[in-house]
Amino acid sequence: MRYHNITKDDMLNGDGLRVVLWLAGCDHCCKECHNPITWDPEGGLHFDEAAKEELFAQLQKSYISGLTFSGGDPLHPANAFGVRKLAEQVREAFPDKTIWLYTGSDWEDIYQLPVMRYVDVCVDGEFHIEQKDAKLLWKGSKNQRVVDVPATLMQKDPRIPVLHCGDYADEKEGSLTDRGQMACEG
């Protein structure tokens, strides 16, 4: 597994202040992607023990809400095993921290992956420039979804995502969106 950066005290990639691991490798190659430097799975640096220690040192801080996997695509074949292993270690060491994962893959294609049992929120779907909206919560284009993974996996049919939140800050709890049920936390 390779990565480009570890962002500290990040407020843009999930709830609260987070540490973000920007992974190398993405096959989606979305038009006008904000991070095309991460597409090459051979780019960046090898995720070694020093990088893991840096990540864990940030997660030990009480004000850090959790870890976000981004990139690139954390589910790219070059990353999938390492991300699952790291997510498992983070969950064990920091059970009160949340884990977010951004991927260009659709929820319906990934919900059965073993890594999902460690993920709290998954932002799915490729970025579509024609559906870009800077006011969206935690995502770049309207087609993407912010999935509450534990709530979704507990449903009778986990292919239908329960949304962590709607598209905009003023949407009310319990309303429905066009691609899944919503379970906002306020």
Q: Each residue of 14-53: pLDDT tens digit?
A: 999 999 999 998 888 777 767 777 878 889 999 999 999 9
- Amino acid sitting at position 69: F
Q: Each residue of 53-79: pLDDT tens digit?
A: 999 999 999 999 999 999 899 999 999
Token pair 């800050």: residue: 169
Q: Each residue of 83-122: pLDDT tens digit?
A: 999 999 999 999 999 999 999 999 999 999 999 999 999 9
Record the tokens describing residue 20, joined without a space: 């973000």
Mean local confidence (pLDDT), 167-178: 54
Distance CA 47, CA 109 (A): 26
Distance CA 155, CA 147 (A): 13
Task: For residue 108, count other CB atoms closer than 10 A to its CB.
Answer: 12
- Amino acid sitting at position 18: R
Q: Is the pLDDT reported for residue 181 higher than 50?
A: no
User: What's the pLDDT score for residue 75?
Assistant: 97
